[in-house]
Amino acid sequence: MQNQSSSIYHVSDTALWIAAYRAMESERKDSVFKDPLALLLAGERGKEMAKKMKSMSLMAWVVAFRTRVIDRLILNTIENKNIDTVINLGSGLDTRPYRLDFLSNINWFEIDFPNMINYKKEVLINASPKCNLSHVELDLSNIEERRKIFSSINSKAKNVLLLSEGVISYLKEEDVALLSQDLISYSNFNYWIQDCYTINMYKVFPKRWKKNMNSSPFQFFPKDWFDFFVKHGWSKNEFISFLAEGKKMGRLTPMPFPFNVINFFLSLLSHNPFENLYGAVLFSKKNK
């Protein structure tokens, strides 16, 4: 990676502290997943970045339940939709090809910046993936090159699941629109998993989080996340709320007073009005 500072200078730097939070979750007795490679990938810089993030327990909770929910969406979609290929756009330091079961017949493509791909390959040189894993060095903003790669994968695949975890939010609306149009144009790109949030969710993010991420801020704020992609040809197939998943697992979102009290009483309701603020969604082509 490019430097040893604990600050975030580039969107790819966020992968280090996300890996650190996955490592923290894996060490819990009540962990909602296990990621034995996360600590190795985070390294000292990732651990320092995570420690210096304010509201660390809240961020750790978000990463834990985002990971758990997306794990389930991936495995369910692979099993129920006869997926043969997964493309992880902006894969960062994701370890699903190494830790998820039932991937033996899956062709999995990780696409990210060259420095990220090379760092990950170097650190995981002795790790064995559970699928047919390929790495693609690419800046997704390079439209001509990404179209060549998408076209090549599409020509060999039968049924593709796209994954963009922690990626869409860093793109401008016009760039998301163009990417969405590109992806849906390929005949075998049929499903797409994203983490998603509302503008109201972003407004309640701690200001100190936003300050830490000044060099790689969120830029995508559609009026309605689902409607944005529906207008570009996708159909909302399934949505899972992170808040609802936390409630189900007996781990409510950690919040400072008095929000923790409010959150507790809201959790007693059959439907928490804040559950749809943040979660993960599976989109499909409208004919699927």
Is 115 in contact with 137 (CB distance < 8 Å)? no
* pLDDT value, residue 131: 96
Is 35 in contact with 26 (CB distance < 8 Å)? yes
Strand partners, 283: 192, 236
* pLDDT value, residue 13: 74
- As a whole number of angstroms, the distance between CA 283 and CA 234 comes to 6
Q: In what order do the strands lie in the sheet with 85-89?
A: 132-137, 107-112, 85-89, 160-164, 189-197, 278-285, 234-241
pLDDT digits (tens, 9 = 90+) for 102-151: 889 999 999 999 999 999 999 999 999 999 999 999 999 999 999 999 99
* pLDDT value, residue 9: 44
Strand partners, 88: 110, 163
pLDDT digits (tens, 9 = 90+) for 49-83: 887 776 678 889 999 999 999 999 999 999 999 99
* CA geometry: angle 63, 64, 67, nearest 5 deg: 80
* pLDDT value, residue 7: 44
Other Cβ atoms within 10 Å of 15 Cβ, number: 25
pLDDT along the chain (288 residues), means of 10: 46 82 96 97 88 77 96 97 97 97 93 95 96 96 97 98 94 96 97 85 52 63 93 96 90 65 60 75 90
* pLDDT value, residue 286: 83
* pLDDT value, residue 247: 87
- Amino acid of residue 183: L
Other Cβ atoms within 10 Å of 36 Cβ, number: 12
Average pLDDT, the chain: 86
